[in-house]
Chain A
Amino acid sequence: MTVHISINGLPVEAEEGMTVVEAGKLCGVDIPTLCAHPRLKPVGSCRICMVELEGGALATSCTLQVREGLAFQTETPRLVEMRKAILELLLDDYADVGYAAGDHGMTEFERLLQRYGVKRRIGSPARLPHPINADPNPVIWVDMNKCVLCTRCVRACAEIQGRFVWGVAERGHRARIVPGSDTGLLEARCESCGTCVACCPTGALDDRMSVGAGKPDQVVSTVCNYCGVGCRLNLNVRNGRIIRVTSDESSPVNGLQLCVKGRYGYDFVHSPDRLTRPHVRRYLLENRVRPAGGRDELVPVDWDTALAIITEKFGEIKTESGPDAIAVLASAKCTNEENYLIQKFARQVIGTNNIDHCARLCHASTVEGLVLCFGSGAMSNTMDDVARNAQALFIIGSNTTEQHPVFGTRLRQAVIGRGIPLVVADPRRIDITEFATLHLKHRPGTDVALLNGIMHIVIANNQHDRQFIDERCEGFAEFREMIASYTPERVSEETGVAVQDLKRAAEIFSRNRPMAVIWSMGITQHTTGVLNVMALGNLQMLLGNMGIPGGGVNPLRGQNNVQGACDVGALPNYFPGYQTIKDEGVRAGFNAVWETAGEVPFELDAAPGLTVTEMIAGAGEGRIRGMYIVGENPAMTDPDAGHAQKNLAACEFVVLQEIFPSETSAMADVLLPGVSWAEKSGTFTNTDRCVQLVRQAVDPVGDARADWMIVAELARRMLEREGRKPEGPQAAWEYCSPGAIMDEIAAVMPIYAGIRYERLEREALRWPVPATDHPGTPILHVGRFTRGKGRFQITEHIPARELPDEEYPFILTTGRVLYHWHGAEMTRRAQALSELYPETIVEISPEDAVKLKLDGRSTVRVTSRRGEMIARAMVTERVCSGLIFGNFHFPGAQNVNNLTIAALDPVARIPEYKVCAVRIEPVDRERVNPPI
Chain B
Amino acid sequence: MHPKTLVHRPVDPEVVEVIRSLGGPDAEIVQVLRTLQIEHGHLNSHLIAEVARELHIPDSRVYGIATFYSMLTTPAPPARTIRICDGPYCMMRGAGDLICSIQARLGGSWTITRTSCLGLCDRAPAALVRDSQVGPLQLEHLDRYEIGWCGEVSDYRRPRPGEIRALLPDPAQADDPLESAFTKGQFPALKKALRMDGVALLREIDNSKLRGRGGAGFPAGKKWRFVASQQRKPKYVVCNADESEPLSFKDRVILDLCPQLVLEGMAIVAHAIGAEEGYVYIRGEYGTQVQRLLGAIAEAEERGMLGTRIGGTGFSFKVHVHQGAGAYICGEETALLESLEGKRGEPRVRPPFPADRGYRGQPTVVSNVETLATVPKIIARGSEWYRGLGNPNSPGTKLYTLLGEVNRPGLFEAPLGISLREIIENFGEGMRTGSTFHFALTGGAAGTLVPPELLDVPIDYDSGARGVSLGSGGMLICDQSVSPLRMLRELVRFFELESCGKCTPCRNGTYQSRKILDRILEGGGGSDDIVRLNQLATLLRETSLCGLGMSVCKPVHSALQYFPEAFERGRLAAQQGAGL
Residue positions of A touching B, CB distance < 8 A: 42-48, 50, 58, 60, 63, 82, 85-86, 89-90, 92-93, 148-149, 154, 163-175, 178-184, 186-189, 434, 819, 836-837, 841, 846, 849, 855-857, 872, 874-877
Contact = CB atoms under 8 A, between A and B. Distances in A.
Contacts of A58: 542-543
B552 to A, nearest CB: 12
A876 B7 CA distance: 7
Contact of A42 (B52, B67, B349, B542): B349
Contacts of B8: 846, 849, 856, 875-877
B505 A86 contact: yes
Interface residues of B, number: 50
B393 interface: no
A57 to B, nearest CB: 9
Interface in B522-577: 535-536, 539, 542-545
Contacts of B535: 85
29 contacts: A45-B502, A47-B503, A47-B504, A48-B504, A60-B349, A86-B543, A89-B504, A89-B508, A89-B509, A90-B504, A90-B508, A149-B501, A164-B60, A165-B58, A168-B344, A169-B63, A170-B68, A171-B327, A171-B499, A172-B497, A172-B507, A173-B496, A173-B499, A175-B501, A178-B63, A181-B48, A181-B66, A186-B2, A874-B6
B460 interface: no
B64 A169 contact: yes
B220 to A, nearest CB: 24
B511 interface: yes
Given A167-B64, A171-B329, 12 more contacts: A47-B503, A47-B505, A85-B535, A148-B504, A154-B60, A163-B58, A180-B60, A186-B2, A189-B59, A837-B1, A856-B7, A875-B8
Given A44-B349, A857-B7, A182 B63 contact: yes
Given A92-B512, A173-B510, A855 B7 contact: yes
A178 B544 CA distance: 24
A172 B510 contact: yes
A168 B543 CA distance: 22
B140 to A, nearest CB: 35
B543 A872 contact: no
A809 B2 CA distance: 30
Contacts of A165: 58, 60
Contacts, number: 156
Given A45-B545, A181-B60, A172 B500 contact: yes
Among A178, A180, A189: residue with most chain B CB under 10 A: A180
B512 A170 contact: no
A679 B335 CA distance: 54
A93 B543 contact: no
Contacts of A819: 1
A47 B349 CA distance: 11
Contacts of A849: 8
Among B59, B349, B499, B545: residue with most chain A CB under 10 A: B59
Contacts of A179: 60
B332 to A, nearest CB: 13
Contacts of A183: 45, 59
B61 interface: yes
B1 A186 contact: yes
Contacts of B423: none
A174 B542 contact: no
Contacts of A855: 7
B539 A85 contact: yes
B402 to A, nearest CB: 30
B6 A856 contact: yes
A180 B502 contact: no
A164 B344 CA distance: 15
Interface string B239-261: 00000000000000000000000
B144 interface: no
Contacts of A434: 56
Nearest to A170: B67
Nearest to A151: B502
A205 B403 CA distance: 50
A167 B499 contact: no
B49 interface: yes
A838 B491 CA distance: 55
Nearest to B1: A837
A836 B3 CA distance: 10
Interface string B320-340: 000000010100000000000
A89 B505 contact: yes
A875 B7 contact: yes
B5 interface: yes
B501 A173 contact: yes
B327 to A, nearest CB: 7
A82 B2 contact: no
Given A47-B505, A841-B6, A171 B67 contact: yes
Contact of A168 (B64, B349, B511): B64
A178 B496 contact: no
A47 B6 contact: no
Contacts of A173: 496, 499, 501, 507-508, 510-511
B59 A181 contact: yes
A167 B58 contact: yes
A163 B49 CA distance: 15
B62 A172 contact: no
A125 to B, nearest CB: 15
Nearest to B499: A172
Nearest to A186: B2
Given A42-B349, A171-B500, A149 B507 contact: yes
Given A43-B502, A188-B60, A171 B68 contact: yes
B466 interface: no
A188 B511 CA distance: 30
A171 B58 contact: no
B479 interface: no
A187 B503 contact: no
Contacts of B536: 85
Contacts of A180: 58-60, 63
B4 interface: yes
Contacts of A163: 58
The 3 residue pairs across chains A and B that have the minimum distance between CB atoms: A167-B60, A175-B501, A856-B7
A649 to B, nearest CB: 35
A44 B545 contact: yes
B62 A874 contact: no
Interface string B57-97: 01111111011100000000000000000000000000000
A189 to B, nearest CB: 8
Contacts of A45: 502-504, 545
A630 to B, nearest CB: 32
B2 A50 contact: no
B504 A86 contact: yes
Nearest to A176: B501
B6 A167 contact: no
Contact of A178 (B10, B60, B545): B60
A50 B508 contact: no
A180 B64 CA distance: 9
